Amino acid sequence: MENNKTICKNCEQEFQESFEFCPYCGQKAKDDLTMGVLFYHTISNYFSVDARFLKSFFPLLFRPGYLAKKFVEGKRLLYLHPAQFYLFTSVVFFFLFSFQAREYTQQVDKVLKKGFENDQIFKFDSIPENNLDSVSITKLTKPLSDQKMITGMDEEELKKLDSIIKVSATPNDIAHENFGFNKKKLDSLIAAGAPEADLLKAMGMDDDAGFLERRFYAQMLKFQKNSGGGIMQALFDSIPIALFFLLPIFAFILKIFFWKSGSFPYHLVFSFYYFSFLFMIMGIVILVNYFWKVPNWLDGMVAALTYIYLLIAVKQFYRQGYFISFIKTGMVTFIYFIFVLPIAIAVMLTASFLFY
């Protein structure tokens, strides 16, 4: 009986037609392109959602430190790779978070726009739009003069106040000097379609300003034109990038406190799995909030749970006593939240403003 041969479409090696998979590269022999095949390869190649994910999901959720310990012991294929787990959970979390972030962004944009509109229409009813005349000034100072006992001002002080108002009171000086520049004048130039150079000069930018100063004034102008819209979305967009740097910093802090336990990748594996756990928990909280509003006390319990999880994970992974693990976990958490996170948030806010 003649054995029929076929050629693998992937590696172009010849093998028996009866084989379901290529013995050389492992690709399925008859792998016609369908929507199911396309979806499977997308998920499998980029997120590795296969049996290993199910084997890794529950141990990560209920056995703190177990996956990290098994990975460094050499079980590299039985469970999902820590970096792949982090990638998958972060993508899922930010997908869920994007719906909530959209609502936050719309609310903040609405509040900022309303604030800009109120600032533009704000006026003092008792002050005319033209320069104050003597009659108007008298109207302003008369109540103070009539209530000298309450204000504690004598005749000499009232005369000085009268002189100050006569010299300095102009409509642009009242309620329109914000952010170090004249908003009313800037709004007029924007409405007239003035060139950007004139707008920046009206905001007070020097002609010889450096790159950062020019960038700052340009963003201030953009903020003014957009009534603050988009700033919150830029902040949310910066969170994934910030976490990309915060994770290795967390691993470095662990390295300092557990410097005898292994090299830096050893602590990085632990950090990947722990941050994956955080993404899973926060994703679950977001899903629950879609159907039932989580009370504040429950949010506090979840935050406490993540710390207890970290404590147990440190105890299991680094194989130290509960007391030492408690002290070191507390120090790691303290340093991370008191020093690292505030700096990261400040950088995020600055970057969001400069590049939104």
Tens of pLDDT, residue by residue over 295-336, are 878 878 998 999 999 999 999 999 999 999 999 999 999 999
Rounded mean pLDDT, 135-144:
53
Percentage of the chain lying above the pLDDT 90 cut: 28
Q: Which of 16-25, 48-57, 140-149 has the lowest mean pLDDT?
A: 140-149
More confident position, 117 or 328: 328
| 290 and 330 fall within a common domain | yes
Q: Is 290 within a domain? A: yes
Three-class SS state of 175:
coil
| 7 and 99 fall within a common domain | no
Taking alpha carbons only, the member of 282, 329, 276 closest to residue 302 is 282
| 279 and 320 fall within a common domain | yes
pLDDT at 155 over 90: no
| 249 and 157 fall within a common domain | no
| 74 and 21 fall within a common domain | no
Transcribe 65-81 into DSSP letters. THHHHHHHHT--SSS--
The pLDDT, as a whole number, for residue 128 is 45
The Cβ of residue 115 has, within 10 Å, a number of other Cβ atoms equal to 12
Q: Is 52 within a domain? A: no
Half-sphere exposure of 166 (CA within 13 A, CB side): 10
CA pair distance 247, 345, nearest whole angstrom:
14
- Which run of H or of E encompasses 14? strand 14-16
The pLDDT, as a whole number, for residue 179 is 55
| 237 and 350 fall within a common domain | yes
pLDDT tens digits for 11-42?
888 888 888 888 888 777 776 666 666 566 65
CA pair distance 236, 352, nearest whole angstrom:
9
Mean pLDDT of the chain: 78
Half-sphere exposure of 256 (CA within 13 A, CB side): 12
Q: Is 75 within a domain? A: yes
Bridge partners (DSSP) of residue 178 are 181
Q: Which of 29-43, 228-242, 244-258 has the lowest mean pLDDT?
A: 29-43
Taking alpha carbons only, the member of 277, 247, 208 closest to residue 61 is 277
For residue 74, which amino acid is it? G
The pLDDT, as a whole number, for residue 158 is 57
Rounded mean pLDDT, 33-59:
68
Rounded mean pLDDT, 123-152:
49
Token pair listed for 287:
């899903």
C-beta separation of 18 from 5 below 8 A = no
| 152 and 236 fall within a common domain | no
Token pair listed for 315:
């105890």
Taking alpha carbons only, the member of 222, 265, 269 closest to residue 82 is 269
Most confident of 186-195, 200-209, 251-260: 251-260
| 345 and 240 fall within a common domain | yes
The pLDDT, as a whole number, for residue 33 is 61
The Cβ of residue 273 has, within 10 Å, a number of other Cβ atoms equal to 27
| 36 and 62 fall within a common domain | no
- Which run of H or of E encompasses 178? strand 177-178
CA pair distance 344, 243, nearest whole angstrom:
9
| 101 and 242 fall within a common domain | yes
Question: How would residue 160 be classed by pLDDT, with cut points 50, 70 and 90?
Answer: low
Q: Is 180 within a domain? A: no
pLDDT at 109 over 90: no
Token pair listed for 220:
């201030």
| 278 and 334 fall within a common domain | yes
pLDDT at 190 over 70: yes
The pLDDT, as a whole number, for residue 176 is 42
Q: Is 198 within a domain? A: no
CA pair distance 158, 148, nearest whole angstrom:
9
The pLDDT, as a whole number, for residue 308 is 96
Q: How many domains does the chain have?
A: 3
Domain that residue 341 falls in: 57-108+231-355
More confident position, 253 or 123: 253
Rounded mean pLDDT, 139-144:
52
Rounded mean pLDDT, 268-286:
94
The pLDDT, as a whole number, for residue 173 is 42
Token pair listed for 202:
């009206």
Bridge partners (DSSP) of residue 6 are 15
Rounded mean pLDDT, 64-84:
89
C-alpha pair distances (Å), 272 with each of 179, 200, 232, 246, 307: 43, 45, 27, 11, 16
Q: Is 122 within a domain? A: no
Q: Which of 7-11, 166-170, 245-249, 276-280 has the lowest mean pLDDT?
A: 166-170
Q: Which residue has the tokens 């590049």?
A: 355
The pLDDT, as a whole number, for residue 216 is 85
The pLDDT, as a whole number, for residue 177 is 44
Transcribe 268-300 into DSSP letters. HHHHHHHHHHHHHHHHHHHHHHHHSPPPHHHHH
| 263 and 348 fall within a common domain | yes
C-alpha pair distances (Å), 61 with each of 54, 281, 330: 11, 9, 21
pLDDT at 49 over 60: no
The dihedrals phi and psi of 74, each to the nearest 5 degrees, come to: 120, -5
Q: Is 113 within a domain? A: no
